[in-house]
Amino acid sequence: MRRQVKELLTGLSEIPVVDENSTLFELVLEIGIARAANPAGLRCPAALVVDKEGNVAGFVEFRHLLRALEPRYGEFVETTSKSGFSPEKIRLELQQYGLWEDALEGLCKKAGETMIKSVMTVPEESQITDAESSINEAAYRMIASGQDYLLVKNGRVLAGVISLSDIMGFICDTVKACRI
């Protein structure tokens, strides 16, 4: 039986959604609401950004949100990606750059001043799939592209998001049901 993306997707009611004219402060509040509604945790590591007509204008991955709130991550990540990761290297760089030490002081101000548009990513065609697509195709696209999730459209309307977490949940349930 061919399983479809629409069977596994995370619906819009479970994903933080903000207007493109919002600030990071408003996004963080929406993430808090979504987390409270889903005590097991959010299945999608991003928030959707919509325009005034309700169409998807972009998305904000949580890692980009953190980078926006602590801009020195840019320096840290650039040097770390060139020289590799090790626990000692990360500890030294955290001390060197003092990440979050000063950022927490101005966190609310920074979040209130930073507009979503400045940190959101506009989705490329490769990041959008159809609700009728197979789970196999979605998994392949995520693995091949390095994406953790795909936006899912049902026709021209956004239906939700399918993530690696959704697919892994399906795989785990399928394996548990096997009789070996």
What confidence tens digit (pLDDT) does each residue in 78-120 have? 555 556 667 787 777 777 766 666 655 677 788 888 899 999 9
Question: Contact 164/7 with Cβ under 8 angstroms?
Answer: no
Contact 127/147 with Cβ under 8 angstroms?
yes
Is 100 contained in some domain? no
CATH number of the domain at 51, please.
3.10.580.10
Asked whether residue 103 is domain-assigned, the answer is no
Q: Which domain holds residue 49?
A: 5-67+109-177
* Each residue's pLDDT tens digit, 74-85: 666 655 555 666
Residue 72 within any structural domain of the chain: no
62 assigned to some structural domain: yes
Alpha-carbon distance of 103 to 94, in angstroms, equals: 13
- 89 lies in a domain? no
Q: Looking at the 3D structure of the chain, how many domains does it have?
A: 1
How far is Cα 149 from Cα 123, in angstroms, rounded to an integer?
11
**CB proximity list for 8: less than 8 A, separation 6 or greater:** 135, 162, 166, 167, 169, 170
Q: What digits encode the pLDDT tens for the residues 7-48? A: 999 888 888 899 999 999 999 898 888 888 877 777 777 888
pTM higher than the cut 0.85: no
8 A C-beta contact, residue 166 and residue 43 = yes
List the beta bridge partners of residue 8: none
User: Is 82 inside any structural domain?
Assistant: no
CA terminus-to-terminus distance, the chain: 20
87: tokens are 């626990």
Q: Say if 22 falls within a structural domain.
A: yes
* Residue 98 belongs to some domain of the structure: no
For residue 173 the two structure tokens come to 């349930």
